[in-house]
């Protein structure tokens, strides 16, 4: 099979398209022929040597989400048949023509969705839904604040929150992207930040003075002090990314006064059984919304795997709206 392998440390230039050995499915696993894979900033961090994969994942082949079809089943794997269209998340290895995954972690692709569209669903929507709803307890009539709302996870979180009936407030450095989120994704209030993270007052104005009950924080860094001010009393801040940097100086007194819950989360490093549980719950509760048209994957562009470097450059420049996808052609 062909695969994008990491050779050295650096930017997208260290990804080389090479031949690799086909993986073999073990007990309870399936072999998936990958048709498309979504890009994530974690892939670029892995290339830079800043986000090593778990020990049981491929060490030199990145890629966290995929869409494809079942090519073979390992011993005692009975859930899918050869040719079934599937998608899912993995700890690595999605940037290859084939991968193995536990059959209970694999999800069926909603009907009529192309592979390139399906590949944009797992990481973004699982991350946003798990952070905001499962961990953050977001419900209807509450206020949600989403940083980088035009990103892959941001566009997913915006739709999930709106589908629950929440009042959705989003931030972005681009006023044009915010307008698009309002028109296409049910964003209620957009806050443009062209010159830096000053948004707490605007969030309070958009929420009737209350602040955000749940924050989907993809930024961290120097956004975090303002995020604390923008949160409601007993608000929940779920940190899932650090686009604005890995460090921040905050007032712990404000955390105490507002009785805030601050929680960090990742999907990649969780034990297999936790990943299976969250994937199966997502398949039951959220995937039907795609079939009904209530949710949709936002794909900015689809590139062949031979043009992976250009796709990563676009992601790094923050020019994209939604997800970037690679596909085998």
Strand partners of residue 323? 299
pLDDT (average), residues 101-105: 97
For CA atoms 96, 97, 99, 103, give the dihedral sign.
positive
Q: What is the pLDDT of residue 195?
A: 85
Between CA 17 and CA 244 the distance in angstroms is: 31
Beta-bridge partners for 86? 68, 108
Name which of 47-51, 103-107, 164-168 the model is least confident about.
47-51
| Residue 18: half-sphere exposure toward Cβ, Cα within 13 Å | 10
Confidence class of residue 182 from pLDDT cuts 50, 70 and 90? Answer: very high
User: Rounded to an integer, what distance in angstroms lies between the CA atom of residue 169 and that of residue 206?
Assistant: 7
Give the model's pLDDT for residue 76.
96
Q: Which of these ranges, 41-50, 144-153, 255-264, has the smallest mean pLDDT?
A: 41-50
Q: Which tens digit of pLDDT belongs to each residue from 106-129?
A: 999 998 899 999 999 999 999 999
Q: Which fold has domain 2-121+271-327?
A: Quinone Oxidoreductase; Chain A, domain 1 (3.90.180)
> How far are the Cα atoms of 211, 225, 237 from residue 263, in angstroms, in the given order?
18, 15, 6
Distance CA(179)–CA(113), nearest Å, equals: 26
- CATH pick for 124-264 out of 2.60.40.60, 3.40.50.720, 3.30.930.10, 3.40.50.1170: 3.40.50.720
Q: Do domains 2-121+271-327 and 124-264 have the same CATH topology?
A: no
Overall pTM > 0.85 = yes
CA 262, 245, 211, 133 torsion-angle sign? negative
pLDDT at 134 over 90: yes
Reduce the DSSP state of residue 79 to 3 states and report it. coil
59-100 per-position pLDDT tens digit: 999 999 999 999 999 999 999 999 999 999 999 999 999 999
Q: Strands 231-239 and 212-217, how do they pair?
A: parallel
Pairing between strand 107-108 and 85-89?
antiparallel
Domain map (residue ranges) of the chain = 2-121+271-327, 124-264
Distance, in Å, from the CA atom of 190 to the CA atom of 161, rounded to the nearest integer, reads 14
């Amino acid at each position: 099979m062909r695969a994008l392998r990491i050779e050295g440390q650096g930017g997208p230039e260290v990804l080389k398209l090479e031949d690799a050995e086909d993986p073999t499915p073990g007990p309870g696993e399936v072999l998936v022929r990958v048709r498309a894979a979504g890009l994530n900033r974690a892939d670029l961090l892995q290339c830079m040597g800043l986000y090593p994969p778990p020990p049981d994942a491929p060490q030199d082949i990145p890629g966290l989400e995929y869409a494809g079809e079942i090519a073979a089943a390992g011993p005692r794997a009975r859930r899918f048949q050869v040719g079934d269209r599937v998608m899912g998340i993995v700890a690595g290895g999605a940037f290859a023509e084939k991968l193995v995954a536990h059959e209970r972690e694999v999800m069926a692709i909603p009907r009529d969705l192309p592979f390139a569209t399906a590949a944009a669903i797992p990481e973004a929507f699982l991350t946003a839904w798990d952070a905001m709803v499962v961990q953050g307890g977001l419900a209807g009539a509450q206020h949600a604040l989403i940083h980088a709302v035009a990103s892959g996870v941001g566009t997913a979180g915006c739709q999930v929150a709106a589908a629950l009936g929440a009042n959705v407030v989003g931030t972005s450095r681009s006023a044009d992207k915010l307008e698009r989120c309002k028109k296409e994704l049910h964003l209620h209030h957009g806050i443009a930040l062209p010159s830096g993270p000053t948004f707490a007052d605007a969030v309070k104005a958009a929420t009737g003075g209350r602040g955000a009950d749940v924050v989907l924080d993809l930024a961290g860094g120097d956004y975090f002090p303002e995020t604390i001010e923008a949160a409601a009393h007993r608000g929940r801040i779920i940190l899932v990314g650090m686009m604005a940097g890995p460090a921040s100086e905050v007032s712990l007194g404000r955390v105490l006064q507002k009785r805030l819950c601050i929680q960090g989360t990742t999907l990649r490093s969780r034990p297999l059984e936790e990943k299976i549980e969250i994937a199966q719950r997502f398949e039951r509760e959220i995937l039907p919304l795609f079939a009904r048209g209530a949710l949709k994957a936002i794909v900015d562009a689809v590139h062949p795997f031979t043009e992976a470097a250009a796709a990563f450059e676009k992601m790094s420049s923050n020019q994209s709206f939604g997800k970037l996808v690679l596909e085998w052609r």
